[in-house]
């Protein structure tokens, strides 16, 4: 593919990637020669793809530019999926109402809360690894650890019983998927999930427990109102959708990147104090983070690379931005000691990931526990045989076969 | 070193508290940053600079020369 004549070659998005852990070849070329590129989305609609660090950061952190949805801006795909569904519309997406909701929920995600939650997450990771060891090697680390851990954690926060965790995983998978499931399957899963959550919220109102939803039933927002049932349901759904597959996939991708060049793993074994910076670098270096964040440009804006007129839909590629040599020294090298590491994997500004302290804690704990329990961990297949999950708003690997 | 924080910009990501818990805290009720030490000891300078660099809301300002 050549980008030399913009406009003549249609660039279909998402871009195909050559190898499981390597970025699409186009990223570097786009950053250098076409930092605002017209792409065709799966729906057939068009968007402008941003790939430079400064541009992506500026758009993501500008509170005037909401996520697309609700009929505003381009559609991502025809088959639904989280960006197009009205599932999240019970939650305010922008403006003061969004800030109020966010501040209410934020208290559950402070660094202190996360420190308190850490031992529980560690115990979950240990018990999942016990089970993986009991089944013998090789094992699929994604199915054994990466996928269940974050849903266990979210279920705990929402006060959902352990026995319903598997259903939660399935719902979460269908809600996020842009192409793997058909429209009917997605709608059926959404309906089922909605029904479950409504009943769950009512149960929490009747009999509050020690969880986020129970507390929210009685906690007023800054202007003194209580969240409605629909907003509570939306909060639970939103946290599951935003926090499950993202973290699940990141666990597998992180471990895959660290094992793909085993000197990285050995560096961590030799100095486990690098776990924190290694997690940040894995987030930065992730070549398959999903399609990026779409934004609707509501007012004319001047970016470093170009001016965008009001009415444009942009797709912010945080993955491409994270490898921009204008922002990171040795951007194409994975450096486990990199610091500071202002990557954009959690977005930036007022909408940036609300669960990032939790995600960081889960990734750090997973890595610590793996280093402690399975120092001999290695890939059970050559790196080239790892397979990407296609069609997810969140990118990942299909499986992560490991031995130890 | 002097540090200031902008509560209105803060999005409660908690990066600062994870990096420099002696200098930053978060309010119990909404996670917004609280500055514990406006003039932190030299021992904290590296962590504070890192916090300012990675704060997703650019809510932390470090004045090096004062
Ligand atoms: C490695 C794991 C994760 C990644 C890469 C990730 C990434 C992101 C990104 C890119 C955004 C959008 C930012 C924007 O629109 O500018 C976001 C938003 C969000 N994330 Fe995460 N996330 C992760 C884990 C989590 C977890 C564990 C939770 C909670 C349980 C969570 C909850 C949220 C919520 C609620 C939002 C919406 C925030 C808002 O609208 O104000 N995320 N995340
Ligand atoms: S890192 Fe920035 S946004 Fe996050 S709590 Fe600290 S000041 Fe607020």
- Which site among A61, A100, A112, A115 would you substitute to test the B interface, given the most B Cβ atoms closer than 10 Å to its Cβ? A112
What CATH number does the domain located at B2-63 have? 3.30.70.20
pLDDT confidence of residue A31: 97
pLDDT confidence of residue B39: 97
pLDDT confidence of residue A96: 77
Binding site membership of A387 for ligand 1 (Cβ less than 6 Å): no
Handedness of CA A38, A291, A35, A4 (dihedral sign): negative
pLDDT confidence of residue B30: 87
pLDDT confidence of residue A86: 42
Shortest alpha-carbon distance between residue B59 and chain A (Å): 9
Q: How confident is the model at residue A5 (pLDDT cuts 50, 70, 90)?
A: very low
Q: How confident is the model at residue A179 (pLDDT cuts 50, 70, 90)?
A: low
User: Are the beta carbons of B31 and A342 separated by less than 8 Å?
Assistant: no
Asked if pLDDT for residue A185 goes beyond 80, the answer is yes
A94-120 residue pLDDT tens: 777 777 888 889 989 999 999 999 999
Query: Average pLDDT in the A7-26 region?
Result: 84
A32-54 residue pLDDT tens: 999 999 999 888 899 999 999 99
Query: Average pLDDT in the A248-271 region?
Result: 97
Chain A residues whose CB is inside 8 A of the B53 CB are: 340, 342
What are the structural domains, with CATH classification, of chain A?
10-398 (1.10.630.10)
Asked if pLDDT for residue A203 goes beyond 90, the answer is yes
- Mean pLDDT taken over chain A: 89
- Ligand 1 pocket test, candidate residues A102, A346, A350, A397, most atoms within 8 A of CB: A346
User: Does residue A319 contact residue A27 with C-beta atoms inside 8 Å?
Assistant: yes
This prediction's pTM: 0.92
Q: How confident is the model at residue A84 (pLDDT cuts 50, 70, 90)?
A: very low
């Amino acid at each position: 593919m050549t980008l030399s004549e913009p406009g003549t070659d249609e660039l279909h998005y998402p871009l195909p990637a050559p190898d499981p852990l390597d970025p699409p070849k186009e990223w570097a070329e786009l950053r250098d020669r076409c930092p605002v590129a017209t792409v065709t989305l799966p729906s057939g609609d068009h968007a402008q793809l941003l790939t430079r660090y400064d541009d992506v950061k500026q758009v993501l952190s500008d509170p005037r530019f909401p996520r697309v949805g609700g009929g505003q801006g381009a559609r991502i795909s025809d088959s639904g999926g989280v960006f197009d569904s009205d599932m999240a519309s019970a939650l305010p997406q922008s403006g003061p109402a969004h800030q109020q909701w966010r501040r209410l929920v934020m208290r559950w995600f402070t660094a202190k809360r996360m420190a308190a939650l850490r031992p529980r997450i560690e115990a979950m990771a240990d018990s999942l690894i016990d089970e993986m060891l009991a089944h013998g090697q090789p094992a699929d680390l994604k199915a054994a650890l990466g996928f269940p851990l974050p849903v266990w954690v979210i279920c705990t926060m929402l006060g959902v019983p352990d026995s319903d965790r598997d259903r939660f995983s399935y719902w979460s998978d269908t809600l996020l998927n842009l192409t793997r499931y058909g429209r009917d399957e997605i709608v059926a899963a959404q309906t089922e999930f909605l029904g479950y959550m409504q009943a769950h919220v009512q149960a929490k109102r009747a009999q509050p427990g020690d969880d986020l939803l129970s507390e929210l039933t009685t906690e007023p927002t800054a202007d003194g109102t209580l969240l409605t049932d629909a907003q509570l349901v939306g909060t639970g759904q939103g946290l599951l959708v935003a926090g499950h597959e993202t973290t699940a996939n990141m666990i597998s991708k992180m471990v895959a990147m660290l094992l793909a060049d085993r000197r990285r793993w050995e560096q961590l074994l030799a100095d486990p104090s690098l776990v924190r910076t290694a997690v940040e670098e894995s987030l930065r270096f992730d070549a398959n983070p999903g399609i990026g964040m779409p934004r609707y440009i509501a007012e004319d804006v001047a970016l470093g690379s170009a001016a965008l007129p009001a009415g444009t839909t942009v797709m912010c590629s945080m993955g491409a931005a994270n490898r921009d040599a204008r922002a990171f020294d040795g951007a194409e090298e994975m450096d486990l000691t990199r610091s500071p590491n202002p990557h954009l994997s959690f977005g930036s500004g007022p909408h940036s990931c609300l669960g990032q302290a939790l995600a960081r804690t889960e990734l750090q704990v997973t890595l610590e526990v793996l280093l402690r329990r399975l120092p001999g961990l290695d890939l059970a297949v050559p790196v080239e045989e790892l397979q990407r999950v296609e069609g997810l708003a969140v990118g990942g690997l299909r499986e992560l076969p490991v031995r130890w | 070193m002097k540090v200031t924080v902008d509560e209105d910009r803060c999005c409660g990501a908690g990066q600062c508290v994870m990096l420099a818990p002696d200098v930053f805290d978060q309010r119990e009720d909404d996670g917004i940053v609280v500055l514990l030490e406006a003039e932190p000891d030299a021992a904290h300078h590296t962590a504070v600079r890192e916090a300012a660099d990675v704060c997703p809301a650019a809510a932390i300002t470090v004045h090096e020369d004062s």
